[in-house]
Amino acid sequence: MMNFEIIKHPLLEHKLSLIRDKNLGTKDFKIIVNEISSLMVYEITRNLSLQEINIETPIAHTVGKVLTDKIVLVPILRAGLGMVDGIHNLIPTSKIAHIGMYRNPTTLKPHVYYAKYPECISSCKVFILDPLLATGGSILAAISNLVSLNVKDITVVSIIGVKEGLLNIYKEYPNVKIYLAALDEGLNEKAYIYPGLGDAGDRLFGTK
């Protein structure tokens, strides 16, 4: 059984329609990707742990609650960077790691060339960020890298995904939780999601 959730909300569906439009410029695309990431935070953090603290308000003493989980955001370079601010603005105590990879020309599999994590990574709740979950290859490589560091609590946050990518991930890591804002029809002959939104990295950074 696949452990994934499609987050449904009128604002998300509205903003998804905006970023799918091929005529949307880089500036607006980047802004809306951040807004979508912010809207997804409410659901992806629903199960975070809390502890009680004593508070003195201007009126009286009361008991409040604060987060206890140590959170690390792991954007997959480069498209994942577009999701960071939308989440970090709402969880400013979270740490930001980075993982970069390229496709090996011989094996056609992702190869990690850069990974920088905080020392506490093995005891943290980790969110892998990548706007598109297509074949799942890059996300699988990121999960494998984190598992090698004894990370136990891994969540994938993508804006658009397809069933093929979900199946590929769950064949290897059935306990990973995945959140999407939309589940699209499938992959075309070039392994692009359709209808999708094109190449998220190129659209975020104006490189195409």
The active-site residue, picked from 21, 28, 103, 207, is: 103
What residues contact 29, with CB distance under 8 A and at least 6 apart? 19, 203, 204
* DSSP classification of residue 57: -
* Cα 145 to Cα 189: distance, rounded to the nearest angstrom: 28
The active-site residue, picked from 57, 202, 203, 207, is: 202
CB 16 within 8 A of CB 159: yes
Beta bridge partners of 52: 65
Read off φ and ψ for residue 65, nearest 5 degrees: -135, 140
* DSSP classification of residue 59: S
The active-site residue, picked from 26, 78, 85, 199, is: 199
Annotation says 85 is catalytic? no
Annotation says 21 is catalytic? no
Annotation says 202 is catalytic? yes
Q: Both tokens of residue 191?
A: 């392994």
Annotation says 103 is catalytic? yes
The active-site residue, picked from 107, 130, 155, 203, is: 107
- Catalytic residues, by residue number, are 103, 107, 199, 202
